[in-house]
Amino acid sequence: MNLSLLVFVPLITAIAVLLCKGARQARVMALAGAVVQVLLAFVLLSLYRDERLAGNKALMLFESDRTWFTPLNIHYHIGVDGISLAMILLTAFVVLAGILVSWAMDILPKEFFFLLLFLSVGAYGFFISLDLFTLFFFLEVSVIPKFLLIGIWGSGKKEYSAMKLALMLMGGSALVLIGLLGLYFNAGMPEPGTVVGSLNFPRPVRTFDLMTISQESIPTVAQYVFFPFLFVGFGVFGALFPFHTWVPDGHSSAPTAASMFLAGISMKLGGYGCLRVATFLMPQAAHYYSPFIIVLSTIAIIYGAFATMMQTDLKYINAYSSVSHCGFVLLGIGMLTQTAITGAVMQMVSHGLMTALFFAAIGMIYSRTHTRIVAQMGGLLKIMPFLSTAFVIAGLCSLGLPGFSGFAAEITVFMGSWQHAGTGYRVATLLACASIVVTAVYILRAVGSTIMGPLRMPVAGGMDASWNERVALVLLIAGIVLIGVAPFWLYDLLTPAVKTIVNALNK
């Protein structure tokens, strides 16, 4: 399969949306493009599984390599493994749900759908890139649309939130660029004291190619220097404590579809980069900085959970909850065991679906009640049974109830974390487990106050979900339940790719 279709289909669709004559045509065009993305993702999954069953043991499948900029040896090199394929499936689901949720958008609808589709271009390109410069290019593609979506279609302090998000993500990007340049100039270099250009150590060829760098030696000192730039830089995108402060403001001010994309996909760019680039390419530094990563991740998990308990706005509740849940991703990566890393990727997929569902339900409730304050709502189950059910399912997945994806992902992280025998690792694991109790408190309180009890607002007819909203919610719920009831298909998809990373860590 030509992986470039994942980039060109949403790009062509986005351009076609701008050329549409009216809002209705733009909606139909955006929906058609999103459906094609889902179909491409499933075709890719089928072809990928066929290749693996046929005995293809290549690290990356469906590779394509074209020279982009010869002087710096930059290539348009793309390919997929199980991890990137899981992220592609997640992206396709969230984009389709976001288009459906935004069906009634009446403020600059063509521009809105254009930016949503352009965001998906950046996400797909990022997940399939095997050249670090190309990966960085697609990472940056997604920053400007986020800024515009919040600044134009947002609510509340939207200008402040958009500016804060853009500045912090650009700061993270600057750190990533420094780290990538460090890899570019140090990959293939010997340890200090070795003569470069000797027969025993020929002069290295500068490259941004991820697979080539993974086979090259990188001096330990260089790893120690540049690993923090890469991990923290990507960590800013993934809500690494204490660089998470853009998350609550950005999510709370963004329109519904943008919140779904920000939490469901954009934050996964950070976790994916921390794993695929920083951890995979600099294994010695990953081991050295592992305790620091675990400490920061544990703080994020506990802090996010307790901060969520203090919130009264539904969007802020989900935003701070995302900080806590993304802490599980970084915790699993920091543990450096196969089970924990597999759980971290499963958590990325699970959280992407769950938080997209949560933001979708919150946005639909807000459009009908005109409030997100928990104390002002109540009894919504009587007038919005379908929306209320989706809201409850999102909450139960968030608190890790068995049968939903949140449980499968988090228990895998916990099991992998417990494999470390050190006292510090065990304490971090126990604290992370204990946060589930706090999560249950704020989720059950928010759900109970919002949909149970007496009505606190006038009853209006036709307040439940429309056809497009029902399709979006069912799509996300199906993904959550599929992973929760039968997680082994995802686990088996991820295992070969995770083994490759773990083997690099154990060299």
Mean pLDDT (whole number) for 342-364: 91
Nearest to 210 by CA among 334, 301, 121, 84: 84
pLDDT at 194: 60
**Higher pLDDT residue, 44 or 72?**
44
Distance CA 180, CA 33 (A): 33
Which of left, alpha, beta for 213 (phi over 0: left; psi -120 to 50: alpha)? alpha
pLDDT at 47: 93
Mean pLDDT (whole number) for 49-71: 89
Write out the two tokens for 502. 């773990």
Mean pLDDT (whole number) for 94-104: 90
Mean pLDDT (whole number) for 327-348: 92
Span 161-184, pLDDT tens digits: 888 888 899 999 999 999 999 998
Question: Which ranges of 67-209 would DSSP assign to H, the alpha helix?
Answer: 82-101, 109-128, 132-141, 143-153, 158-186
Write out the two tokens for 293. 């990563």
Residue with tokens 């996400």: 123
Mean pLDDT (whole number) for 4-10: 93
pLDDT at 15: 93
pLDDT at 11: 94
pLDDT at 398: 86
Q: Is 279 exposed, middle or buried (0-12, 13-18, 19+ CB in 10 A)?
A: buried
pLDDT at 234: 93
Distance CA 133, CA 144 (A): 18
pLDDT greater than 60 at residue 462? no
Neighbours of 489 (CB within 10 A): 12
> Average per-residue pLDDT in the chain?
88
pLDDT band at 485 (very low <50, low <70, confident <90, very high): very high
pLDDT greater than 90 at residue 320? no
Distance CA 264, CA 412 (A): 20
pLDDT greater than 70 at residue 201? no
Nearest to 28 by CA among 7, 41, 13: 13
Q: How many residues does the chain have?
A: 507
For 159, 207, 501, the CA distances from 184, given in Å and listed in that order, are 37, 6, 20
Is the separation of the CB atoms in 199 and 147 below 8 Å?
A: no
Strands 61-69 and 74-80: antiparallel
Mean pLDDT (whole number) for 121-137: 93
Is the separation of the CB atoms in 416 and 342 below 8 Å?
A: yes
pLDDT band at 203 (very low <50, low <70, confident <90, very high): low
The tally of domains found in the chain comes to 1
pLDDT band at 373 (very low <50, low <70, confident <90, very high): confident
Amino acid residing at 115: L
Mean pLDDT (whole number) for 294-317: 89
pLDDT at 239: 84
Span 213-223, pLDDT tens digits: 988 888 889 99
Range of weakest confidence among 1-5, 154-158, 392-396, 404-408 = 154-158
Q: Residue 483's domain spans which residues?
A: 5-194+202-505
pLDDT at 200: 55
Distance CA 139, CA 131 (A): 12
Backbone phi and psi for residue 448, each to the nearest 5 degrees, phi listed first: -65, -45
pLDDT at 248: 85
pLDDT at 113: 92
When computed from its CA atoms, the radius of gyration of the chain, rounded to whole angstroms, is 22
Amino acid residing at 36: V
